[in-house]
Amino acid sequence: MAKQVVILGVQGERTDAAVARYRELAAEMGNDAEIVFVDQAQSEEDVIAQCQDAVAIIPGGRALTTDMISKMPNLQLVQVTSAGTDWIDKPAVYELGVNVANNGGGNRVAVSEHTITLMVAAYRRLEHQLRTARAGKWLGEAVMPGSPEDYHTLEEKTVGIVGLGRIGQAVAKRLRGWDCELVYHDVIDIEPEVEEQLNVTKLPFDELLAVSDVVTLHVPLEPTTKGMMSTREFGLMKKTAMLINACRGPVVDEAALVQALRDGEIAGAGLDVLEQEPTPVDNPLFEFDNVIVTPHLASRAIESMYTSTEFAIANVSRVARGEDPTSIVLPV
């Protein structure tokens, strides 16, 4: 008998197309998963009632709560299609005997490419350049803030990668052709062959901050990483250094970042994520010519969607067959 896998979402053309794709992939894999769509716009009671037989759920957005999960007796896996699972109370969910899995790095290419885009944009003050062009000003130092020394290339710069997981490794791999020196910090031991392949050197966190020209963050948002970049950390960085954040906004103490920028503790930042999203239009970060902000769309690419969807179906299919899922995110 086919095991039920529920796709949670809001009824609409995009959701219908996504569900059709899930069913198509499941059929191609020839597994025993029965793909069922449940409209999360219904009441929680109705959603729970329709998920009683589900062994796995692929939630759309953040509509699935721990209380709801506790009332689904057959549930074994919550499979998200993003890298982040910070919105799930994983210790509580694991107490219920339910695993949580992310997208297995399905967005690593898009996010790593966007990360390097933010590096270049911050180093070349692209935000100011765009404002200047829209104002009809063209060429010449007269319309450039600061001095020529404020504009840099990545060549021969030291890039510090905080978190050498799937996305961090993808960033390192792509930067090999940019003639950068790569250092990293991670709480997990990375295999020596991976370090050699990527030509990266592990450093203690504080030393990485001190020597890096660019610090790029690729850690999950957990209690141990929330606010890991704050006043002390900015004080350790070079005054010429750039901060890049394409993981989760609360990893950075935003008030401390604003103060560091105002005090010249660091030279600028490239941010795809902020503490509050959507962020207020009067966020002081928008005032800086040396900061570029994008609206948490680093992973937005059709290739990411396809890869993450394929991974999700493959993983829930393992559960439907009675096998163990992969890419499990453990509680911290």
How far apart CA 320 and CA 32 sit, in angstroms, is: 6
DSSP code, position 145:
S
Is there a catalytic annotation at residue 248?
A: yes
Give me the residues paired with residue 252 across strands: 229
How far apart CA 267 and CA 260 sit, in angstroms, is: 9
Is there a catalytic annotation at residue 152?
A: no
How far apart CA 114 and CA 290 sit, in angstroms, is: 17
Question: Could you tell me if 269 and 244 are in contact, meaning their C-beta atoms sit under 8 angstroms apart?
Answer: yes
Question: Catalytic: which of 248, 254, 265, 310?
Answer: 248
* AA letter at 53: D
CB contact set of 309 (below 8 Å; sequence gap of 6+) = 18, 21, 22, 25, 81, 106
Question: Catalytic: which of 21, 124, 131, 296?
Answer: 296
Is there a catalytic annotation at residue 296?
A: yes
How far apart CA 3 and CA 26 sit, in angstroms, is: 12
Question: Could you tell me if 6 and 63 are in contact, meaning their C-beta atoms sit under 8 angstroms apart?
Answer: no
Question: Catalytic: which of 277, 287, 303, 323?
Answer: 277
User: Known catalytic residues?
Assistant: 248, 277, 296
